[in-house]
């Protein structure tokens, strides 16, 4: 699929989401897939969910047992579907808390590397979610109008495809250090002016930094696709 069709598809999904938020003509069922970590990512999704509830739609959140009671207390207007995470959520949260305590002294690349030890738990968490056949049956029979997830966690997109490939999937995006969002949507990000988030460069780069930034911005999306494919490929069912 070329850049043009991808951009048109993303635009249509955003228009669809905007329509749901603005109109109360019919109650729709919306499924939010809770991010595995990064509370700020969840807050963005939750605010979208609140806007949809205010317009008369029903919002259900797929969340692990580790954090469901906290989310129920914070967002009583949401419904919740729970899966057993076998401690993966708690271990990922420990890694996140440790990374945040040292974030100010770390570069963006070092911050990304701090989460590498949690990759195993991240994949296992997704596997447990997708492997809950009773949960999948409930979600499938609920006939949701749209599935919303955070693009940093591919598990949401995989779950959406498992339920029904005809149901629109919307990825909420706060920013992508790997620049995969620009590749998908066609947004122009010239590396001679826009520094990669994994570098410490500013928009005032030397010639050498521009060259380095161009190399990083070109290679990272390619390597990221290969890495994500190797991690999550086994969880995608045909």
Residues 136-182: tens digit of each pLDDT: 999 999 989 999 998 778 888 889 888 887 788 888 876 665 555 56
Asked if residues 169 and 157 have their Cβ atoms less than 8 Å apart, the reply is yes
Beta bridge partners of 223: none
* Contacts of the segment 208-216: beta carbons below 8 A, 24+ positions apart: 216/191
- Candidates 1.20.58, 1.10.10, 3.40.1130, 3.40.50; CATH matching 3-174: 3.40.50
| 198 CA to centre of own chain | 18
Higher pLDDT, 196 or 174: 196
User: At 150, which helix (H) or strand (E)?
Assistant: strand 146-150
Residue 8 binned pLDDT confidence (cut-offs 50, 70, 90): very low
Highest mean pLDDT: which range of 78-92, 95-109, 193-207: 78-92
Nearest Cα to Cα of residue 63 among 88, 40, 28, 44: 88
CB atoms within 10 A of CB 57: 20
- Label residue 154 exposed, middle or buried (CB < 10 Å: 0-12, 13-18, 19+): buried
Residues of the chain with CATH 3.40.50: 3-174
> pTM for the complete prediction?
0.73
């Amino acid at each position: 699929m070329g850049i043009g069709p991808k951009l048109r598809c993303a635009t249509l999904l955003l228009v669809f989401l905007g329509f749901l938020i603005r109109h109360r003509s019919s109650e729709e069922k919306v499924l939010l897939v809770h991010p595995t970590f990064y509370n700020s990512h969840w807050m963005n999704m939750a605010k979208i969910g609140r806007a949809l509830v205010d317009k008369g739609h029903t919002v259900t959140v797929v969340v692990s047992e580790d954090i469901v009671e906290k989310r129920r207390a914070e967002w009583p207007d949401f419904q919740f579907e729970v899966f057993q995470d076998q401690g993966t959520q708690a271990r990922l949260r420990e890694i996140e808390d440790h990374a945040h305590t040292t974030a100010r002294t770390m570069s963006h690349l070092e911050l990304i590397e701090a989460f590498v030890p949690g990759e195993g738990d991240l994949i296992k968490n997704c596997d447990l979610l997708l492997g809950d056949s009773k949960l999948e049956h409930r979600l499938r029979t609920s006939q949701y109008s749209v599935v919303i997830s955070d693009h940093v966690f591919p598990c949401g997109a995989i779950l959406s495809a498992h339920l029904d490939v005809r149901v629109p999937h919307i990825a909420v995006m706060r920013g992508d250090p790997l620049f995969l969002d620009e590749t998908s949507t066609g947004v122009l990000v010239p590396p001679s002016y826009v520094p990669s988030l994994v570098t410490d460069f500013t928009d005032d780069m030397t010639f050498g930094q521009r060259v380095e930034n161009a190399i990083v911005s070109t290679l990272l999306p390619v390597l990221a696709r290969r890495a994500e494919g190797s991690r999550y490929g086994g969880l995608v069912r045909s």
